[in-house]
Amino acid sequence: DGKTFIIQNEVQFWCTLLPLYYKHNNMSSFIRQLNMYGFHKISLLNSSITNDKVEVEFVHPYFQRDEPGLLGNIKRKVTTSRHNSEKNVPEVANQDQLSKLMADVKYLHNRQAQVDVVINNLKRENSVLWRELAVLRQKHQKQIQIVNKVSRLAAFIY
């Protein structure tokens, strides 16, 4: 389907083809390089371990037949240095990601300011309601006292 490539004879590939393009004929090093560029190995069900012609298949979303324009998107994975990984500081792959990240931070900062305003308004309203409740409780107590006085007076008169 043109979305993968297959090395049909791994032994022949690393013996004859790898030395033409690389300083080694080590298949593991070649596969490691593919992995560093985002290629992934696909297991083939019909390959035989005992057969010298072991097939190996690899896939990458930007490696497609008749789509040479996509090849520019295949880039080496960005690795974090040991120093940065110890500090848990992520590296940003490119300027677009940095710009998007900065826009996201700005948006979150604005949303946080809006939430702070809402919370402060709710705190003020809550304080007002508590004061009103205290006043209403005092009025309620006075009404209870008045009702009790009226009840005693009515009982005294009758």
Q: What is the pLDDT of residue 80?
A: 64
Reported as a pLDDT band with limits 50, 70 and 90, residue 88 is low
Looking at the chain, list the stretches that DSSP marks H as alpha helix, in order from N- to C-terminal side.
10-12, 18-21, 27-36, 82-87, 95-157
Q: Once rounded to an integer, what is the mean pLDDT over residues 25-42?
A: 88
Token duo for residue 34: 């593919």
CA 23/CA 31 separation, integer angstroms: 14
Q: Once rounded to an integer, what is the mean pLDDT over residues 87-113?
A: 79
Whether residue 46 is predicted with pLDDT greater than 80 in this model: the reply is no
Reported as a pLDDT band with limits 50, 70 and 90, residue 124 is very high
Q: For residue 42, count other CB atoms closer than 10 A to its CB.
A: 11
CA 69/CA 64 separation, integer angstroms: 10
Report the SS3 class of residue 82.
Answer: helix
Instruction: Specify the higher pLDDT residue, 49 or 137.
Output: 137
Reported as a pLDDT band with limits 50, 70 and 90, residue 133 is very high
